[in-house]
Chains A and B, each alone.
Chain A
């Protein structure tokens, strides 16, 4: 049963610490998305990749957030330094986009709490 896998599922950290979230997309999907969800803002698109190349990270605070895809099986989202306002659920999603488009399949999310 193919699924998007995210780790860790929960993370509590102190302000100023570095946080790294990882995502394994579904094998064969060529597009990977990072979203942040809060009660106030809903699901915000932070960044997305096509064939491992970053296409758009305009939704991401550039000074502290970075997203990479070192290989086809791993995407990472890093926050350094973390701040309390970064507390949210971070979702990774993957999809197949091109001649045939699939929906975005979501991972279970990483619940981040910055104290």
Chain B
């Protein structure tokens, strides 16, 4: 059964810190991996990663995929209180099936 595991489950940091969130997966036919941010409402899309070793970047957020070791990381530099959220990792893993399965998420709290 395909599985997504995120770590840590929760994290508390101070403004200005850099954080690294982890997502590891066990899949049979990998297609892509997605990162989402969830504040109070619906998850909002951050990145889609398909190729190994190519960094995706948006402002202070960046993410990279390692298909050999089956994991991805999401980095947030110079954190702000507005980065406080749950960060979710998911994939349409199975080739031809595209069933988006989510990890349990990392709950990030950034203190002023």
Q: A residues near B, CB below 8 A?
A: 31, 33, 35, 41-43, 45, 48, 50, 55-56, 91, 93, 95, 97, 101, 103-109
Contacts and interface: CB of A to CB of B under 8 A. Distances in A.
B61 to A, nearest CB: 15
B7 interface: no
Given A42-B105, A97-B92, A103-B34, A108 B42 contact: yes
Those 9 A-B pairs whose CB atoms lie nearest each other, nearest first = A106-B42, A42-B104, A43-B102, A97-B98, A103-B45, A104-B100, A106-B43, A108-B42, A103-B34
Given A42-B104, A42-B105, A101-B32, A31 B98 contact: yes
Contacts of B99: 45, 48, 55-56
Contacts of A101: 31-32, 48, 92, 98
Nearest to B88: A43
B100 A45 contact: yes
B42 A109 contact: yes
A33 B41 contact: no
B31 A108 contact: no
Contact of B41 (A50, A103, A104, A108): A108
B40 to A, nearest CB: 10
Interface in B27-78: 31-32, 34, 41-45, 48
A105 B105 CA distance: 17
Contacts of B45: 103-105
